[in-house]
Amino acid sequence: MQYSTLLGSATLLALAALTGPAQAAEELAVKITSKLSSLTVQHEGQAVTILRNQDEAHQIDPQYAKTSRKCPPFCVTPAKTGDAETIGELEVLDYLKKINEGDKSILLVDSRSREWIAHGTIPGAINVPWMKISPENEQAGFEASGISARDTILSEVFGAKKTESGWDFSAAKTLVLFCNGLWCAQSLTNIDSLRQLGYPADKLKWYRGGMQDWEVLGLTTVKTAPSH
């Protein structure tokens, strides 16, 4: 796993080594909010500190600087998706804080296909690509491609229970889903597919800004292999 702490300062790195992350965080000029400098989370068993890039001349990753992509499929998404709640970066960080404090009822889900994960993801996220949940793709070459069955993801990852009468989502996890941003429908597709299966709307949170807004704010990303 590769990750960027986005410090942009050799002095700050040295300070962190000498005084520890808590005091180093106090020296950050570019904070997340006036009261929050950084947040440390677990990603694949390693501690990763999320903070904003400290180099005020830093520019966004060119992958996310493009303003125009052919539509379809890269069309502007709506601000709301049905009855699922739309959230922003601070809410995502709040959910990550709860996860890091031991709340196992929440998952941060990167809904993008495998090739996008190589560009980086949000620390603490797992990868469940949109096509694995889509009912239309349930029988479409899953075994040949090695993709885990939808039912396995729903039960073993999301915590739902399959019964004779259908899916029981009473103990299912709250999912915070995202993809590439305002022009990406992969997380929307995951949400729509889950709603078709009966997943409760109050357990689905949509980070519409996704990776593009995350990158615009200079927040830490990690490069990692797809999870599922």
Query: By mean pLDDT, which of 12-16, 20-24, 56-60, 89-93 is the weakest?
Result: 12-16
76 pLDDT above the threshold of 70: yes
For residues 145-167, average pLDDT: 84
Q: What DSSP string describes 93-161?
A: HHHHHHHHTT-TTEEEEE---HHHHTT-B-TT-EE--HHHH-GGGTTSSHHHHTPPPHHHIIIIIS--E
Domain edges within the chain: 52-223
Closest CA to 109 of 28, 172, 22: 172
Q: Are 175 and 188 spatial neighbours (Cβ–Cβ below 8 Å)?
A: no
- Total length of the chain: 228
Query: β-strand 85-87 against 221-223: which pairing, if any?
Result: unpaired
For residues 47-75, average pLDDT: 93
Mean pLDDT for the chain overall: 85
Under CATH, which number does the domain 52-223 receive?
Answer: 3.40.250.10
Closest CA to 12 of 47, 57, 61, 52: 52
3 state DSSP class of 162: strand
In this prediction the pTM is 0.85
